[in-house]
Structure 1
Amino acid sequence: MRLFMVLGAVIIITLIDASFSAEESKHVPSIGGFPMRHKIEKNVLSTIPSRRPSENHGSNIGNDPLTERSNKLEKKKLSVVHSSIQAFSADSNPLLKTAENEDIKTLKPSQFNKNRSNSRKKAHPRKKSHKPVPVVSPVKGISSVQTSGAAPLLPDRPVLTIKIYEPGHLNKEIDIKRICGYGGKYLKLLILITSAHSHFTARMSIRHTWMNYGRRRDVGIAFVLGRTTNASLYESLNKENYIYGDMIRGQFIDSYINLTLKTISLLEWTDTHCPRVKYILKTDDDTFINVPKLLDFIDGHKDNRTIYGHIIENAKPHRQRAYKYFLPYHQYGGSVYPPFVTGTAYLLTGDIVHELYVHSLRTYYIQLEDIFTAVLVQSLKIKIVNAGSFYNTRIPFLPCRIRNAISVHDIKENEIYDIWRKQMDSTVKCN
């Protein structure tokens, strides 16, 4: 019985072996009419290093031109699908729509800045470029992409400032420690000078004269500018700031009609980098500031929540578009402006900076900076005090008149040197 079982097993094995041999002869190339043995092929293959399935995929057909074309078509399809997915993700990202859809009464500026920051992190990566990137407003239908000096395309309806203002600054080259060290702990006065990109000569004349008081431990002085879409001008500003480190640059496009955004930008910078400063003077680059007189003025006033400057009352809006100070009805509908300090030079107590910045974002945008500030002051019940030594116009360049003035407006670059010399002339005695 055992013998028959052994013989049966041998016969079955023989038949199976013959079947495999016949199958191999159909597919394996032959040499001399005899099929190559499977063992020989196995031995040859064993000398090739093994690969992971993902590495070996397509390795034998990659040189086929038809296969190459099909692979390229497949990659192109995958690329299109991937791009569509990315676009869908960006459009559906709720963080990108927060500023438009969320109730402004419940949206804090810090939350808005956080949302804007998160949305940038989730945006598609881009290559770094030294060219200025135009700023696009988050408001639908509004774009602030323009050349320096052009007016933004604002809607013909009221719009909240938070929908227009782009927070943040280009602080790469600025010397923050020199301008406002320790958050303004030892700083009595911070002077912020609004300047235009092309006003290089005006900035240099200020640096050579009254800006020298910025070397004092208790005084910090810096210029405030916006962005530009002019590549050569952008590089020139980078070089200037690398040398002097005294230019604060916001994210808005720098133009006359964006002066309100520039004022908000300097409030934001002060609130972020110099929150402990006692007083802030906002002025323009065509204004001469008598810093010693200003410091004496500060020592004689110990008020809180106050703005000092040249006050104008009962002024009426100009509705003609050709006029420089034109203001449309949808930005301000009143027939008379509230009392306001002229924007050429005014002094703020440090305790209202944060409040002004936060409230400015929740206020409807007004393109005239003086009037926008007046609306904020009225809403926040901040006191404004008229100071006769803040001159909104030119005055005779007499030594004693200059020494008794805190600010003199409408000064040309070359005139600043003459005023500075007369202020510093110790041979002239004044009563």
Structure 2
Amino acid sequence: MVGRLLRCILILMLVSFTVFSYFSKSRTMAKLNYFKLEPDSGDLFLSGTVSKYPGAQKDIDRIQRAFKESIEDGIGNSSGSRSKMITSNYPDVNAKDAIALIRSRRIGQGQLQNSDKKEMEFSKVLLDSKHILGRKSMELLSIETEVPVRMPLVRTIYEPGHLDNEIDMERICPRGGFYTKLLVLITSAVHHEAARMSIRQTWMHYGSRRDVGMAFVLGRTTNQTLNKAIDREDFMYRDLIRGHFIDSYNNLTFKTISLLEWTDLHCPKAKYLLKTDDDMFINVPKLITLMSTLKANRSIYGRRAENWKPIRNKWSKYHISFAQYGKPTFPFFTTGPAYLLTGDIVHALYLQSLNTAFLKLEDVFTTGIVAESLDIRRVNVREIANIRTKFEACQIRDRISIHMVRNNEQFELWKMLLDDTIKCTKK
């Protein structure tokens, strides 16, 4: 009786620990697709297997040690992604041992039946993962950064290409950008349709110029209702560039790589590329004026961040662990809400991004780590402040980018920009 009670307590502790470990660690990891599971596959097959076969208790400690860190960084998304990564930091328990143990307990009890679906799927996960289960995670080095990270190189997890939708190339970037002085690509979340509409009805009007092209960049979603809404929006406006990655905050780096890839493929002759977000107001006339004073050679212009430190608080959405980035400060970078790239660096940035270890902070990754490895200049521009400012006409006209603008506020700023009855004197 006492033995059974202790056995039940041990099993409950294992299940509780595994569930807690899975959900707590999944918050701090990028949402990447490593292994595809079947739609109906469960998350914690091990506890179910052990609970059915009492003889497995002798080996429970060894399995538990391995799986404490093995179901690490479980990865998914709010829309129901089924991807998952299984790794282990314990070399003494390898895939063969785990599989042999599970099979021996099952066969010994005569329980190997086709109806036992969950256990069969668990064995399948182990078999599919045998080339990494039970090995220590290998440290990868970001190209020429000397930064030890445990994240994989981008090219191993990024799916290139875009959805084959009917984007209006003649309006956005005709003849590969031969006439395009400025290409503006606006990163947007799939559910931000209202934000995109407010931009289309305000400062995106400058996209009607022959030398200016504008479009939105999105990922994909597993929400079919949302997919249909996006398809309708794309049919009406033909200005959505859609990558193959799951659209989420932790995949913003993929979104930036996707826009670099699209520009490199479809608009390589554009003189300048502005990357910005859908909560920004862009003073396009002032930006074009700035561009006329610049020399278009291997530079990124924006708000330059110097000596910024990684946030180690694991509860912050900006959390970066020592394993992901080991140095005390980031390289100089330009902050993500808006930055201007010269067209001659787009191809190199894209290729180098693929060969750099993944980091979820897209601005640090692209304009910091990758740009530094390519010896690209990061230039501070006062007008690209990337902050919210007073809603006064003269203040608005003095800035190129204004951050944290709500959908309805786009119209207010647009009116201030165009109202020629308001005169501003230069200080």
TM-score by length of 2: 0.67
In the superposition, relative to structure 1, how do residues 409 and 268 fare at CA in structure 2: closer, same or farther (>3 Å)? same
Q: Does 1:371 align with 2:364?
A: yes
1:119-155 deviation per Cα after TM superposition (whole angstroms, max 9, x unaligned): xxxxxxxxxxxxxxx9944799998664449897577
Where does residue 426 of structure 1 map in the other structure?
A: 420
Partner of 2:282: 289
Please state if 1:159 is matched with 2:175: no
5 Å matches for 1:406-425? 406-425=400-419
Kindly report the root-mean-square deviation, in angstroms, between the aligned alpha carbons of the 2 structures. Answer: 2.3
Aligned residue in 1 for 2:60: none
- Which structure 2 residues correspond to residues 109-128 of structure 1 after superposition, within 5 A? none
Name which of 196, 211, 225 aligns with 1:203. 196
Matches within 5 A, 1:15-414: 136-137=33-34, 146-148=77-79, 157-373=150-366, 374-414=368-408
Q: Deviations over 1:233-284 (max 9, x none)?
A: 0111001000000010000000000000000000000000000000000000
Q: Distance between the aligned counterparts of 2:379 and 2:84, measured in 1?
A: 35
* Rg larger for: 1
Query: Residue by residue, what CA displacement relative to the aligned partner does 1:26-49 show, whole Å, maximum 9, x if unpaired?
Result: xxxxxxxxxxxxxxxxxxxxxxxx
Shift of 1:158: 2.5
The answer for unaligned runs of 5 or more in structure 2 is 1-30, 38-70, 88-136, 138-149
Letter in 2 for 1:160: L
Separation of aligned partners in 2, 1:196 and 1:186: 29
Aligned letter for 2:259?
A: L
The number of residue pairs the alignment matches comes to 298
Query: Cα 1:412–1:161, aligned 2, differ >3 Å: closer, same or farther?
Result: same
Residue 413 of structure 1 aligns to a residue in which SS?
coil
SS of residue matched to 2:408: helix
Q: Secondary structure at the match of 1:371?
A: helix
* Structure 1 residues 171 and 213, CA gap change in structure 2 (3 angstroms): farther
> CA, structure 1 residues 329+135, in 2 after alignment: closer, same or farther (shift >3 Å)?
closer
Unpaired runs of 5+ in structure 1? Answer: 1-133
Moved over 3 A (4+): 134-156
Matches of 1:135 and 1:297, distance apart in 2:
38
TM-score by length of 1: 0.66
Q: Distance in 1 between matches of 2:80 and 2:392?
A: 35
Evaluate the alpha carbon distance shift between residue 246 and residue 149 of structure 1 in structure 2; reply closer, same or farther with a 3 A threshold.
farther
Query: Which amino acid letter does the alignment assign opposite residue 388 of structure 1?
Result: R
* Structure 1 counterpart SS, 2:415: helix
The whole-number CA distance in structure 2 between the counterparts of 1:370 and 1:421 is 30
8 Å CA contact retained: 2:34, 2:83: no
